[in-house]
Structure 1
Amino acid sequence: MWSRAAARWQKAADPPSRLEELRAIRRERERALRKARREQQLSSKRLVRHSLEEPDPEELAAGCLTQEQVVLLLTGAQRGTADRLKSLSRLRRGLQHREVQQTFVRVEGSMRVLVGLLTSSLAEMQMEAARCLHELSHSDSPAVCKACSPATPYLLTYLSGHSAELTELCLYTLGNLAVESEGLRRQLLLQGIVPALASCIQSPHVLVVEAVGYVLSQLLQAKEAPEKIVPLVFESGLAQHMLRLVRGDLQQGLGTAVEFAWSLHYLVCSQVNNALLVSLGIVSTLVLLLIDLASLLSQSAAEGLELLISPALRCLGNLLAEDEEVGSRIRIQDGRLLVALIVFVQQFSQQQPFVVQECLWVLNNLTADDPALCSAVLYLKLLPACLQLLPCSKAVHLMALMVLGNLAEKGPAYCLQLREQLVLPVLIPLLHSPDLEVVQQTLELLCLLFRNCSHIVGDFLNQEGLLALERYKDTPELQPQVQALLQTCRSNQQENRITPAMP
């Protein structure tokens, strides 16, 4: 990243304290960005109703069940009559209401009855009881979810059953419960959820495997995951399966790939054993996946691919930002990845700018310390696409400025290319931005350009850049960069006898 490079645009005579201050600013900026990429949480609950009949309009209109009605339905579901399934189905539809969920857990013995029905020898009753538990697990009430804890051993047991539909439903129910509390997660770990997932991930049923990915992504986001969950995931061999599935058949299992891409992202963020992930081939897996996705986008407007592109980019970007112990093992020499990043930028710049940010995060980390990849950016004529992003949103053009800074830091030849691509007409308007962070990063880039290419200084003066600089000479946060640039401009004026209009 740009902050890894020393602020070498400063003159040797500059005070060491100023150099260290600028280095600290850049390091802090990188830490903040890396923290945001690592800690964004996406835990949420899923509701699976795709196999159920349409709700009865009369029941929906009737609204919530009373406590007396809940008791009657539970009693009816226990009777050995033909109406048992009907009573349980009516209860399940009632549990779609938040108020009924809370009423249900207040009824004494209600969960004991539901667990008993879950263990029924009648497949239809068992399935309907599982659906009731699933509705309860989707509740936003901690009390309701805590009440479901007696059912977890049975839900885990049925993961090894013969019904793919029941297995899928149990997985999503467990995933919903896993995000509720550390206590519930501890219980699930003791009951063997990780070995159970390692078995389910080998299922031939796509929907079951996707549900496994959902549960893993929920577990791996927990605050205690690095110490208590990630080691178990590595020991179980799940990581190898995750790498295999993230590049599976996208036409049949895009959802599966998305879930495991996020799961891999959280594994990387845990920093428990990224060296092992690298040795297992995570980098080449992600690179080839992104190249494949770019190819799909260029062939057709594939809907939903951004849902997979985003976590794959973030995962790769975080790996590239690792410390030297891990980073030294990562070598990316496939220029097709750079082309893929630009394809994503062009495809998503209008509708999904969050994808563009992730692309630039990867591109920034690729070009930070690798002159070969910087040369590839120029050789493949990818620079214009980066320049086009500068007028975009703040987050996007801050990242674009960092990438351009990586190129400029590599020396005169790169700065000359930036000049030929008309970087100044894009940078000078940014000096009028109301956002000081944007202005500061623009000034840092200008300092690198001035240091490495004297022609750019003349261009800057001829394009009235000095007018833009003068407005910041009394701004404390920007004074180091502004003073250095003003001094360079004045020296250039004296040498070339340039006398542009002054304010």
Structure 2
Amino acid sequence: MWARRRSRPGPAGCGVDELRRRRREREAALRKARRERQLVSKRLLREDAEEADGESAAPGPALGASEIRQFLQLAQRGPEEKERQCALISLRRGLQHPETQQTFIGLEGSIRTLLGLLTSNHALLQLEAARCLHELSHSEQSVVAEACLPATSYLLTYLSGHSSDFIELCLYTLGNLVVESEAVRKQLLPQGIIPALAACVQSPHLPVLEALGYALSQLLQAKEAPETIIPHLPCCASYSHLCFCYSSVLASSLPQYMLQLLKPGPKLNLGVAVEFAWCLHYLICSQVNNSLLISQGALSTLGLLLLDVAEAVQRTNNAGLELLACPVLRCLSNLLTETAAESVEGQTQLRDERIVAALFLLLQFFFHKQPGLLPEGLWLLNNLTANSPSFCTSLLSLNLVGPLLQLLPVSNVVRVLVLTVLCNIAEKGPAYCQHLWPGPLLPALLDILVFSDTEVVGQSLELLQLLFLYRPEASEAFLQNSGQQALEKHQAEVQLKDRVQVLLQKALHQ
């Protein structure tokens, strides 16, 4: 992210190169934290099933072993199909309880019986058996997920079926299973889960596409994904002494279709876009081959989508927009850290001011509606301004320093990011510092120095260091407004005292 530039003269012990090095280290730590803070979740379609069947939303009673056997036997050999279906419904509602799930998988032949019903010629029984598996897949116990291993090959087969509702249910069940157990993932890869998912991406049914995005995002979150799921793999993989040919995500058609589904326009569906934006986020975070994604137009698509989302927040209060904005911001932030992005940055085909203006619209939206998402937008603004004087110029020409400073009261994390963006601008030299100072920045920095948070104060010192270096008159104004007293409050702090001392010497001898 940080370009190598020739060293400029600076105060002894804390020059521009040293300031840049500190930011690089801090930025690397933050980027690593973002990669590790993944959204591991499970999706449950229980309410949809109950609404479709006119059932009560209340869970059924927990079941003992004898009751489970009774329902399974009735589902297998009941005299009428309706009676068999009711038995499976009762079993499924009982499986909403963790204790029933444990009892069920402990019964010999229970999964085998359920699979027999799943593969029967009775569509209603198939559907209820699949719903039972779906309840099991939602368990928080990995042993329950692994007990469903024999069902995975059937679930994959049914993805090529004709019932969109059934395909959707199978996709969510697979998504729940793959995120829980490495054993499940190891079995599903040779069985061909990636080609099966790639085949689903051309479905005309939006619920299927949304379920597909969910299942794929769950698969891409696996810790082994960068090594065994995402990159191009050898054609063969051994499993049970047989050889299976299976693809990888980047070798499949999934990335191209993913980007198509994220293109703004009348066909863009919010639910589908959210799921596939997270898929793209996990692909990018893997850092396996981001240059490939960039060459396929990821920057251009995401940039246009950012403009579209920013425009949408002005005309609607749709609560789902922030769900899309978050992964889009993360994707752009991480792609912009790639050296490959520098050579193809023109692919965005967007003027700097459009991107910056759109980003500030989102920051204002987050400030009023979702302040917890402000760091995501500021992280992108940081990456945009770190290496690009043109983006810094856009921010200044649009008079956005004031709106940026208005975000300071939100949290310490926001304060650090706002100050980092201002450091990016100040680092570009005297002409940029002239636009920062004078103005609202001086009182804002004096207010910040009242805080005791070491990282916030440290970032403030860094900004002052750059301002004093490139705009010497700033130090005089700072001292005239009780700046010396504000700095001296931090002289006793071990992590700050040397930097405070250097800054005071610089200001007093300017």
2:345 to 325, 330, 337: 330
**Do the aligned residues in 2 keep the contact of 1:265 with 1:311 (CA within 8 Å)?**
yes
**Do the aligned residues in 2 keep the contact of 1:220 with 1:267 (CA within 8 Å)?**
yes
Larger deviation, residues 158-167 vs 407-416: 407-416
Larger deviation, residues 254-263 vs 416-425: 416-425
**Do the aligned residues in 2 keep the contact of 1:94 with 1:100 (CA within 8 Å)?**
yes
**Do the aligned residues in 2 keep the contact of 1:220 with 1:263 (CA within 8 Å)?**
yes
Distance 1:23 1:421, change over 3 A: closer
Between the aligned partners of 1:286 and 1:270, the Cα distance in structure 2 is 18
Q: What is the CA-CA distance between 1:313 and the residue it aligns to?
A: 0.1
TM-score after normalising by structure 2 = 0.91
Q: What is the CA-CA distance between 1:9 and the residue it aligns to?
A: 6.7
Between the aligned partners of 2:121 and 2:229, the Cα distance in structure 1 is 34
The residue number in structure 2 matching 1:416 is 434
> Quick check: 1:483 aligned with 2:480?
no
Q: What is the CA-CA distance between 1:4 and the residue it aligns to?
A: 6.4
- Mapping of residues 225-264 of structure 1, within 5 Å: 225-231=225-231, 232-247=248-263, 253-264=269-280
**Do the aligned residues in 2 keep the contact of 1:447 with 1:484 (CA within 8 Å)?**
no
**Do the aligned residues in 1 keep the contact of 2:264 with 2:308 (CA within 8 Å)?**
no
Distance 1:252 1:270, change over 3 A: closer
The residue number in structure 2 matching 1:498 is none
Distance 1:210 1:262, change over 3 A: same
| SS in structure 2 of the partner of residue 368 of structure 1 | helix
> Quick check: 1:137 aligned with 2:137?
yes
Q: Deviations over 1:145-175 (max 9, x none)?
A: 1111000110000000000000000000000
The residue number in structure 1 matching 2:238 is none
Q: What is the CA-CA distance between 1:28 and the residue it aligns to?
A: 1.7
| SS in structure 1 of the partner of residue 451 of structure 2 | coil
Larger deviation, residues 198-207 vs 21-30: 21-30
The residue number in structure 2 matching 1:308 is 324
Between the aligned partners of 1:54 and 1:3, the Cα distance in structure 2 is 62
| SS in structure 2 of the partner of residue 166 of structure 1 | helix
Gaps of 5+ in 2: 232-247
**Do the aligned residues in 1 keep the contact of 2:74 with 2:84 (CA within 8 Å)?**
yes
The residue number in structure 2 matching 1:44 is 41
> Quick check: 1:288 aligned with 2:300?
no
Equivalent position amino acid for 2:142 in 1: P
> Quick check: 1:394 aligned with 2:412?
yes
Gaps of 5+ in 1: 493-503
1:442 to 451, 456, 460: 460
Q: What is the CA-CA distance between 1:302 and the residue it aligns to?
A: 2.2
- Mapping of residues 443-482 of structure 1, within 5 Å: 443-482=461-500
The residue number in structure 2 matching 1:73 is 71
Larger deviation, residues 87-96 vs 483-492: 483-492
> Quick check: 1:276 aligned with 2:274?
no
| SS in structure 2 of the partner of residue 234 of structure 1 | coil
Q: What is the CA-CA distance between 1:420 and the residue it aligns to?
A: 3.6
Between the aligned partners of 1:212 and 1:48, the Cα distance in structure 2 is 14
Q: What is the CA-CA distance between 1:22 and the residue it aligns to?
A: 4.8
The residue number in structure 1 matching 2:201 is 201
Between the aligned partners of 1:54 and 1:8, the Cα distance in structure 2 is 73
Q: Deviations over 1:368-402 (max 9, x none)?
A: 11111111111122221111112220111100000
The residue number in structure 1 matching 2:179 is 179
Q: Deviations over 1:298-344 (max 9, x none)?
A: 1122221000000000010011112x244433245522111111011
Q: What is the CA-CA distance between 1:407 and the residue it aligns to?
A: 0.6
Between the aligned partners of 2:212 and 2:465, the Cα distance in structure 1 is 51
**Do the aligned residues in 2 keep the contact of 1:47 with 1:135 (CA within 8 Å)?**
yes
The residue number in structure 1 matching 2:221 is 221
Between the aligned partners of 1:197 and 1:330, the Cα distance in structure 2 is 31
| SS in structure 2 of the partner of residue 236 of structure 1 | coil
Q: What is the CA-CA distance between 1:476 and the residue it aligns to?
A: 3.2
Larger deviation, residues 62-71 vs 334-343: 62-71
Q: Deviations over 1:3-37 (max 9, x none)?
A: 967885733xx259x87765543222011111122
Between the aligned partners of 1:79 and 1:250, the Cα distance in structure 2 is 50
**Do the aligned residues in 1 keep the contact of 2:142 with 2:180 (CA within 8 Å)?**
yes
Q: Deviations over 1:242-288 (max 9, x none)?
A: 00112366887211100000100010011111111001000010110
Between the aligned partners of 1:91 and 1:249, the Cα distance in structure 2 is 44
Q: Deviations over 1:46-93 (max 9, x none)?
A: 101313335448x84x62112111100000001152121111111111
The residue number in structure 2 matching 1:35 is 32
Question: Number of matched residues?
Answer: 486
Q: Deviations over 1:392-441 (max 9, x none)?
A: 20111100000000111111221121114320100111111111111111
- Mapping of residues 362-377 of structure 1, within 5 Å: 362-377=380-395
**Do the aligned residues in 2 keep the contact of 1:310 with 1:358 (CA within 8 Å)?**
yes
Equivalent position amino acid for 2:281 in 1: H
2:315 to 291, 296, 299: 299
Larger deviation, residues 177-186 vs 248-257: 248-257
TM-score after normalising by structure 1 = 0.92
The residue number in structure 1 matching 2:377 is 359
Q: What is the CA-CA distance between 1:351 and the residue it aligns to?
A: 3.6
The residue number in structure 1 matching 2:161 is 161
Percent identical residues: 53
| SS in structure 2 of the partner of residue 160 of structure 1 | coil
RMSD over equivalenced CA pairs, Å:
2.1
The residue number in structure 2 matching 1:124 is 124
**Do the aligned residues in 2 keep the contact of 1:37 with 1:318 (CA within 8 Å)?**
no
The residue number in structure 1 matching 2:151 is 151
> Quick check: 1:85 aligned with 2:103?
no
Equivalent position amino acid for 1:293 in 2: V
Between the aligned partners of 1:470 and 1:413, the Cα distance in structure 2 is 30
2:396 to 366, 378, 384: 378
Distance 1:375 1:19, change over 3 A: closer
| SS in structure 2 of the partner of residue 391 of structure 1 | coil
Distance 1:330 1:39, change over 3 A: farther
The residue number in structure 2 matching 1:496 is none
Between the aligned partners of 1:22 and 1:159, the Cα distance in structure 2 is 54
| SS in structure 2 of the partner of residue 10 of structure 1 | coil
Between the aligned partners of 2:260 and 2:419, the Cα distance in structure 1 is 35
**Do the aligned residues in 1 keep the contact of 2:307 with 2:354 (CA within 8 Å)?**
yes
Q: Deviations over 1:208-263 (max 9, x none)?
A: 01111001100111111011111201111100010011236688721110000010
